[in-house]
Chain A
Amino acid sequence: MRHLLSIADLSSTQAIQILDTAEELSRVSDGPMKKLPTLRGRTIVNLFAEDSTRTRISFEAAAKRLSADVINFSAKGSSVSKGESLKDTAQTLQAMGADAVIIRHSASGAAQRLADSQWMTGSVINAGDGTHEHPSQALLDAFTIRKNLVHGGNDLTGIHVAIVGDIIHSRVARSNVLLLTKLGAHVTLVAPPTLLPTGVESWPVAISYDFDSVIGKVDVVMMLRIQLERMSELFFPNAREYSHYFGLNRDRLKMMKPTAIVMHPGPMNRGLEITADSADSARSVILQQVTNGVTVRMAILYLLLAGSQELGVQP
């Protein structure tokens, strides 16, 4: 495989390979010398046509730790804001000799378009496309769950995950549902009906409208951000009512299993979907997710760029 466009394209073997590679890389990152020579001389372009803090910085840190050269390119302040098309942008990057493009775009399928086109020859890594997928986030979430809850075994069999909140606008939820179920976890979506996409019945998940009845049974509570910027109509009566029914607060924290963990892909709306004390509690692995994000992205870059051909492994 040359690109990482969606979790749907990955087999569970490939996903586990990425997680295992990240596992080994995390040990290297813990050492005194964090820089590896592996991708020396490779040029990676961060093409972010949509705002991002942690994904862009995380990919940049991952690329730099593997000694790749990173060019950051954001829509604001570039010719994209003058109306340059994706095609012209891609051809420009190709002409500059980019070995890989990490793309975030507000249009679903933008990464796929870039990979299918003949505009450039390098690898394409999807860092979030519209409301479609965000594969690297799902991989780092699966990695974090495995690290915290799975002892022995390399997949997530037997783990029960609740994904709570704005499912309809969330590419993180889509990628996570695909990946977690692919790795053997059981997923329950918790949201008001207005925040569930049409066709959700066909997903391989359970659905609940009642957070309190689910929270005591799960091993992982994954809170999603309410994406106000994508909401052009009214999805719930008001913020207070949403927090009351679907927010994670101190009382709900007490209902969780003793070993259960709290996750959030960030950025958080503190006080809306998650209270500050829940986000900062001992159960929260939110900062671990950020740390793991760098190692998982190093693994992705290593597997896509270090070798010459397929993602298949040679022992």
Chain B
Amino acid sequence: MINSRPTSFNDPSCEAGKEIDMSLALPAPDMDRAITRISHEILERNSGSESITLLGIPTRGAHLAARLAAKIEAIEGRAVQCGTLDITLHRDDLRMRPPRALMPTTIPSMGVENRNIILVDDVLFSGRTIRAALDALGEIGRPASVQLAVLIDRGHRQLPIRADYVGKNLPTSLAQIIKVQFTELDGLDAVTLEEGAL
């Protein structure tokens, strides 16, 4: 494959990414281990699953939230509140793209008021999605706290946002593309790193 694509000079991590054309960053067993670890971390930090509500950001964040919920239920032996939160209407880049389809927002039975909300997304990048999610959440109610769980943190933050639970830190260049796949959607579990045009 061609390796002459421009890379970002303001980011040292791009040098590391240069070698890779397309590689498996997280194979299925490691993905499952990461989800298990995050589940335990969530339970540890919140002293159990009683006070928590998982909200996945569609599309892939919602699938990850469902995985985490299943894992937490298996550990604790009780149902956990899990739903989805669409952030499209709160995005700050709406004007730069064609209109996006709205995805479902489903808030579980206990709502968000005074709950410990765990926002779940597949990849943490600029942080703008999470900012929009915080706005969207604010429309619904006032949680006791908001925490963030992501499978991949790829860096390049544009806002002061950090994740509380990270599956894997993956330093990338801006030219690279991270692809998270879930069996439910894509037929297999994998995280791959591809070279792409900047």
A212 adjacent to chain B (CB < 8 Å):
no
Residues 86-124 of B, flagged 1 when their CB comes within 8 A of A and 0 if not, give 100110001111111111110000000000000000000
**Contact yes or no, B102 A25, CB < 8 A:** yes
- Looking at the assembled complex, report how far the CB atom of B61 sits from the nearest CB atom of chain A, in whole angstroms: 14
- Tell me which residues across on chain B come within 8 A of A304, comparing CB atoms: 99
From known contacts A24-B86, A24-B103, A315-B59, infer whether A310 and B140 are also in contact, taking CB-CB under 8 Å.
no
Residue of B at shortest CB range from A302? B99
From B94, B135, B139, B141, give the contact of A306 (CB < 8 A). Answer: B94
- A-B CB contacts (within 8 Å), total count: 69
- Tell me which residues across on chain A come within 8 A of B138, comparing CB atoms: 33
Interface size on A, residues (CB 8 A): 26
- Looking at the assembled complex, report how far the CB atom of A257 sits from the nearest CB atom of chain B, in whole angstroms: 31
- Tell me which residues across on chain A come within 8 A of B101, comparing CB atoms: 17, 20-21, 313-315
From known contacts A37-B90, A37-B135, infer whether A28 and B105 are also in contact, taking CB-CB under 8 Å.
yes
- Looking at the assembled complex, report how far the CB atom of B9 sits from the nearest CB atom of chain A, in whole angstroms: 29
**Contact yes or no, B140 A303, CB < 8 A:** no
From known contacts A21-B101, A302-B99, A314-B100, infer whether A36 and B94 are also in contact, taking CB-CB under 8 Å.
no
22 CB-based A-B contacts, threshold 8 Å: A21-B102, A24-B102, A25-B102, A27-B104, A32-B141, A37-B89, A37-B90, A38-B89, A38-B90, A38-B94, A302-B102, A304-B99, A306-B99, A308-B97, A308-B98, A311-B98, A313-B98, A313-B99, A313-B101, A314-B99, A315-B59, A315-B101
- Looking at the assembled complex, report how far the CB atom of B165 sits from the nearest CB atom of chain A, in whole angstroms: 26
Chain B residues at the A interface, C-beta cutoff of 8 Å: 59, 86, 89-90, 94-105, 135, 138-141
In the bound complex, what is the Cα–Cα distance between A312 and B98 (angstroms)? 7
A307 adjacent to chain B (CB < 8 Å):
yes
Instruction: A307-B100, A308-B97, A310-B98 are known; give 5 further A-B pairs, CB within 8 A.
Output: A24-B103, A28-B105, A31-B140, A37-B90, A304-B99
A118 adjacent to chain B (CB < 8 Å):
no
**Contact yes or no, A307 B94, CB < 8 A:** yes
In the bound complex, what is the Cα–Cα distance between A25 and B96 (angstroms)? 21
In the bound complex, what is the Cα–Cα distance between A147 and B141 (angstroms)? 27
In the bound complex, what is the Cα–Cα distance between A311 and B98 (angstroms)? 7
From known contacts A21-B102, A24-B104, A28-B105, infer whether A36 and B97 are also in contact, taking CB-CB under 8 Å.
no
In the bound complex, what is the Cα–Cα distance between A95 and B22 (angstroms)? 52
**Contact yes or no, B139 A303, CB < 8 A:** no
- Tell me which residues across on chain B come within 8 A of A17, comparing CB atoms: 101
A309 adjacent to chain B (CB < 8 Å):
yes
- Tell me which residues across on chain A come within 8 A of B89, comparing CB atoms: 28, 36-38, 302
- Looking at the assembled complex, report how far the CB atom of A256 sits from the nearest CB atom of chain B, in whole angstroms: 33
Residue of B at shortest CB range from A315? B101
- Tell me which residues across on chain A come within 8 A of B97, comparing CB atoms: 307-309, 314
Residue of A at shortest CB range from B138? A33
Residue of B at shortest CB range from A67? B89
From known contacts A307-B99, A315-B59, infer whether A27 and B105 are also in contact, taking CB-CB under 8 Å.
yes
In the bound complex, what is the Cα–Cα distance between A130 and B122 (angstroms)? 51
Residue of A at shortest CB range from B113? A32
**Contact yes or no, B105 A24, CB < 8 A:** yes
- Tell me which residues across on chain A come within 8 A of B59, comparing CB atoms: 315
**Contact yes or no, B102 A306, CB < 8 A:** no
Most chain B Cβ neighbours within 10 Å, of A27, A304, A310, A311: A27
In the bound complex, what is the Cα–Cα distance between A306 and B102 (angstroms)? 12
From B95, B96, B99, B135, give the contact of A303 (CB < 8 A). Answer: B99
- Looking at the assembled complex, report how far the CB atom of B109 sits from the nearest CB atom of chain A, in whole angstroms: 15
**Contact yes or no, B98 A309, CB < 8 A:** yes
From A31, A36, A308, A314, give the contact of B90 (CB < 8 A). Answer: A36
- Tell me which residues across on chain A come within 8 A of B86, comparing CB atoms: 24
